[in-house]
Structure formats: structure tokens, C-alpha cells
Amino acid sequence: MKASRLLSLSLAALLCSVSATPPAFAQAAPQTAAKKPAQDPELQAAIAKSNAYTSLSNRTIRAIESWDRYKSWVDMKKGPTGKERYISYGLYSLYDVKDEIAKAEAAAGQPPAQPELDAAVKRYIAAYQELAPLITRAERYYERKDYRDDNAAEGRELHAKMVPAAEAFLRERNAFSAQLNGYKKGIDARELAAIEASEGRQARWQLRNIMINARAVMDVMPSNEKPIVDLAAFDTALAGYSGAIKEMDRFKDSNPSGVPMIDSSASSWLGNLRDFREKLGKSKGDVRKGAANDANRIVSSYNMMVSMADSAARMIR
């Protein structure tokens, strides 16, 4: 099997997104509104739109996983022959995303109007709806080993349709992700400011600041499509996350209880990131040259942090 999956993903719990396409990195999860700032209707409307779009992005990333699975065993230029060594790998079945699509479509027509982002999500949905039925057909076809009955004839027919549909889908996902990430960053800044104005840089602010900066690191992590890391961008994100940890340390100096649940993991993650950066430096940013396992661990740890951050947010009163 080709080494097409560099990173593993799981969970969906942060907006605390993703480029990538991220086919290869942790999914972004919905924003969690702060307690008092939640009274700001404009901010909450912006977060609601972000949540709807992020949920759609998270659930539909399964199509990328399925497509990567397919590419790992088939000759993409020739298409399937029915004789491939790993043909039994087939494709992954897709998730039911009817609700996510409906909510995203509704959000596109609701304030705050974001013309470019709203248009991008509509194109993304259309591209997904073009690809998804083909993946579902192919998944069933290979699961049932129908290629043994028709000498892979339907497999070749599906391949010819899936390739352009997948290319269009990935293109629209990249465009959508870029727009969504920019939108989220604006919301992050507004939300942090609202929390600080309401209660200062207390535990809630610290938690949000850490996870916002953690997500910024994830945004520049490698993917299957982009296995070479932009080291300058990574260094910038790493410096931002390091600054958030130092800010948390200063908070802990006067508040020994610190930030519930997450402070130790957040600090350890920083050390892991620095180890990862050292390896990337030796490979000129190419994660495939000895750093893929580290990337997997970083993604896994990040996902755990996201889960803990969600629990911590509920604990902070």
C-alpha cells in the first residue's frame, strides 16, 4: 500500500481549521461561546455561521479520507484493472451529512453576510454532492467485489467520473477552507476581546487564547496534498502558541489553580512541537522524511486537548 496517509485524524471538537484540506490533519470544531460575551448578538450570529460551516467541513472530510484510501491502491492514470494487490481496501463509506448541508445552506442566507465565504460554501456543497454519490457507488462496488463479475468494467467507468469530481471537490474545499479560516480568525479576535472586556484575562480567556493559537499551528501542519511544511509559517504559529503558554504561566503565578484540565497537556504539546520543528528543519520541511510519526502524535495530542478544552470551558464559571 502506498504511504498516502501521512497523518491520522479523529474527533471534531475545536474551532480551537483547517486548510486542508486538510485531509491530513485534525478537524476543526465549532466555536464555543464565552459566558458573558455570549450576550453580544452580532458575535453570536457570526459564531453560529462559523459553527454551521465548520460542522459541514468536519463531516465531509470523510470524502477526502475515502479518496485517499482509493488512491493508495489504484493506478490513478490507468484506473482499476481488478487485479490490484490491495483492491480489497476499496473506499471508506461516507457519513450522512444531510443535516450539516441543510444548516450550512441556511447559514449562507443569514447575517452576517459574508459574500465570498457564503458563495464558497455553496460551491463546496455542490462539488461534494457531485462526488459523494460516486464514492458511495464505488465503495459498494469494491466491498461486494463486483469487479470479479464484470472484469472491473464498472470500476473503470466510476474511475473516469470520480477523478474530475474529486479534483473539483478538493479545489472547492481548499477555497472554502481558506475563506473559513480567515473568517474564524476575525471571530477569534472579537471573542477574545469580548471575554477580556467582560472578565479580564482570567481562566476563560487563557483557555480560549491557548486553543486559538493551537489551531493556528494546526493550520500550517502538513497534509497528504501538502507534505512539505512552510517553515516560516510554522515558526510564526509556533511563536504564537509559545506566547500563549507563557501568558498562561503568568496567570498561574497569581492563580495557582491555573486553567482547568488543560494546562499540563498544553505545555507538553509545546515541547512536542519543538521536537517536530527540529526534525522538519533537518528535512527542509518534508514530513515524509522521518517526521510523519511525530506529526501523527501531534494531531492525536491536539485532538485530546480539544476534548479537554471543551470540558474545561464547561467547568469555568
Residue 286: what are its φ and ψ, rounded to 5°?
A: -85, 110
**pLDDT band at 111, cuts 50/70/90?**
very high
- Which amino acid, 56? L
Residues 221 and 81 in one domain: no
**pLDDT band at 64, cuts 50/70/90?**
very high
**pLDDT band at 317, cuts 50/70/90?**
low
**pLDDT at position 40:** 85
- Contacts of residue 2, defined as CB under 8 A and 6 or more positions apart, other chains included, come to 71, 72, 73
Residues 166 and 229 in one domain: no
CA–CA dist 17, 26 (Å, integer)? 8
Is residue 168's pLDDT more than 60?
A: yes
Q: Which of 3-17, 36-50, 181-195, 281-295 has the lowest mean pLDDT?
A: 3-17
- Which amino acid, 92? Y
Residues 306 and 173 in one domain: no
Residues 75 and 90 in one domain: yes
Residues 191 and 208 in one domain: no
In a domain, 12, yes or no: no
Average pLDDT on 240-262 reads: 94
**pLDDT at position 22:** 37
> Which residues face 286 on adjacent strands?
228
Residues 193 and 155 in one domain: yes
Q: What's the domain range around 243?
A: 201-317
**pLDDT band at 257, cuts 50/70/90?**
confident
What is the sign of the dihedral through the CA atoms of 102, 114, 222 and 308?
Answer: negative
**pLDDT at position 10:** 33
Residues 178 and 214 in one domain: no
Residues 192 and 205 in one domain: no
Q: What is the pTM of this model?
A: 0.81
pLDDT tens, position by position, 133-151: 999 999 999 999 999 999 9
Domain stops at, among 199, 224, 248: 199
SS3 228: strand
In a domain, 32, yes or no: no
CB 69 within 8 A of CB 106: no
**pLDDT at position 223:** 86
Residues 44 and 190 in one domain: yes
CA distances from 308 to 211, 242, 262 (A): 11, 19, 6
In a domain, 233, yes or no: yes
Average pLDDT on 30-39 reads: 48
Domain stops at, among 199, 219, 238: 199
**pLDDT at position 24:** 43
In a domain, 232, yes or no: yes
CA–CA dist 294, 13 (Å, integer)? 21
pLDDT tens, position by position, 200-227: 999 999 999 999 999 999 999 998 878 9
Q: How many domains does the chain have?
A: 2
Is residue 37's pLDDT more than 70?
A: no
SS3 307: helix
Average pLDDT on 75-80 reads: 98
**pLDDT band at 32, cuts 50/70/90?**
very low
Cα-Cα end-to-end distance for the chain: 50
- Contacts of residue 113, defined as CB under 8 A and 6 or more positions apart, other chains included, come to none
Average pLDDT on 87-96 reads: 98
Residues 121 and 79 in one domain: yes
Average pLDDT on 154-181 reads: 98
**pLDDT band at 1, cuts 50/70/90?**
very low
In a domain, 33, yes or no: no
In a domain, 23, yes or no: no
Residues 217 and 291 in one domain: yes
Which CATH number belongs to the domain containing residue 139 in this structure?
1.20.120
**pLDDT at position 23:** 37
CA–CA dist 99, 313 (Å, integer)? 26
**pLDDT at position 185:** 93
CB 180 within 8 A of CB 172: no
Residues 189 and 229 in one domain: no
The H-assigned helical ranges of the chain are 41-71, 98-108, 115-143, 147-150, 153-199, 203-219, 231-254, 263-282, 292-315
In a domain, 16, yes or no: no
**pLDDT band at 17, cuts 50/70/90?**
very low
Is residue 30's pLDDT more than 80?
A: no
CA–CA dist 215, 25 (Å, integer)? 11
Is residue 245's pLDDT more than 50?
A: yes
Domain stops at, among 152, 181, 199: 199
CB 70 within 8 A of CB 76: no
More confident of the two residues 11 and 230: 230
In a domain, 22, yes or no: no
Query: Cα 24 to chain center, whole Å?
Result: 8
CA–CA dist 46, 39 (Å, integer)? 13
